Amino acid sequence: MLEKLKRHKREYTREYVIRVLRHNIINLNLKPGQLVSENEIAEALGVSRTPVREAFLELSKASLVKIYPQKGTCISPIDMDIVEEIRFMRCAVEKAVAKLCCDVFTESDIAYLEENVRLQEECIAASKDYKHLLSLDNSFHEYMFKACNKKMTFDIIKSTMAQFDRVRILNFVEMDMQISVKEHKQIFEAIKNRDKEMAEKLMEKHLTRVIFDMSYLREKHPEYFEGESTQTSNVMFGF
């Protein structure tokens, strides 16, 4: 079922429809391979078909929908090759950010990250709300960039994250949420202790896990995936 979002002030209809559809695709309310109708989306959101059609075109550029002329539109499968490329980019950048955090983090930065981890643990214990957990997860990483004065770098990465986030949501639904939270806590402890080498290793381990997760998830939901990424990692999953 389509989850509606509150419309922002002065938000153009086209941008609103894109935001709603993107949110629903990432959170798997609209599942990979599912057919979507212009008429049904327009009716559900109380808009005309034109902004829906424009939204489909924009989302197709991000490989989130596939448009088949004269046939219809469907939600794109999760592309394993795109996810691997995003992981490669994030891993290269965020290992450096983790090391930089060890140099620049203040006591207030440490307190913020510690509270974020606490909220993640609370989220799992109280509700297992995977959407809220994804939000906290993203905030954890975003704050590290901001504290290092690398917000623009994070924004560039964030603009590519939709395919990656779909895997993370599916991971939270099908697998153990606690693994990700445990890894965040370990990264936080390394930064708190100013241990650059450990912070770098832990970040690489954290971001590389998606490769192994995808293998399991593809076996369970083969209809959700496409692509033939065979990337492997030399990261040890136990130090």
Residue 222 lies in a domain: yes
Same domain for 49 and 97, yes or no, is: no
Domain termination residue (choose one: 51, 76, 101): 76
Q: What is the reported pLDDT for 229?
A: 60
Cα gap 6→51, rounded to integer Å: 17
Report whether 136 contacts 116 (CB < 8 A): yes
The yes-or-no verdict on residue 233 having pLDDT over 80 is no
Pairing mode, strands 78-79 and 35-36: unpaired
Reference 130, options 70, 172, 192, 67; nearest CA is 172
> What is the domain extent for residue 37?
13-76
Integer angstrom CA distances of residue 155 from 1, 138, 146, 191, 217: 29, 12, 10, 22, 28
The three-class DSSP label of residue 194 is coil
Same domain for 116 and 173, yes or no, is: yes
Residue with tokens 């959700």: 224
Distance of CA 183 to the CA centre of its chain: 16
Same domain for 65 and 99, yes or no, is: no
The yes-or-no verdict on residue 127 having pLDDT over 90 is no
Q: What is the pLDDT of residues 207-232, one digit of tens each?
A: 999 888 888 999 999 999 998 764 44
Q: What is the pLDDT of residues 78-115, one digit of tens each?
A: 999 999 999 999 999 999 999 999 999 999 999 999 99
Residue 96 lies in a domain: yes
| Alpha-helical runs (H) found in 48-195 | 49-61, 80-104, 107-126, 130-147, 151-158, 162-174, 177-192
CATH code of the domain covering residue 60? 1.10.10.10
The three-class DSSP label of residue 208 is helix
Same domain for 65 and 89, yes or no, is: no
Same domain for 199 and 92, yes or no, is: yes
Residue 237 lies in a domain: no
Same domain for 112 and 204, yes or no, is: yes
What percent helix, strand, coil does the chain show, rounded to 5? 70, 5, 25
Comparing 130 with 53, the larger pLDDT belongs to: 53
Quote the pTM value.
0.87
Same domain for 185 and 203, yes or no, is: yes
Same domain for 93 and 153, yes or no, is: yes
Same domain for 198 and 90, yes or no, is: yes
Same domain for 84 and 71, yes or no, is: no
Q: What is the pLDDT of residues 12-47, one digit of tens each?
A: 999 999 999 999 999 999 999 999 999 999 999 999
Cα gap 87→17, rounded to integer Å: 28
Q: What is the reported pLDDT for 212?
A: 86
Same domain for 90 and 46, yes or no, is: no
Q: What is the pLDDT of residues 134-192, one digit of tens each?
A: 999 999 999 999 999 999 999 999 999 999 999 999 998 888 889 999 999 999 999 99
| Angle at CA of residue 76, ends 75 and 80, nearest 5° | 150
Q: What is the reported pLDDT for 232?
A: 41
CATH code of the domain covering residue 90? 1.20.120.530
**What residue type is assigned to position 73 of the chain?**
T
Pairing mode, strands 225-226 and 78-79: parallel
Residue 58 lies in a domain: yes
**What total number of domains does the chain contain?**
2
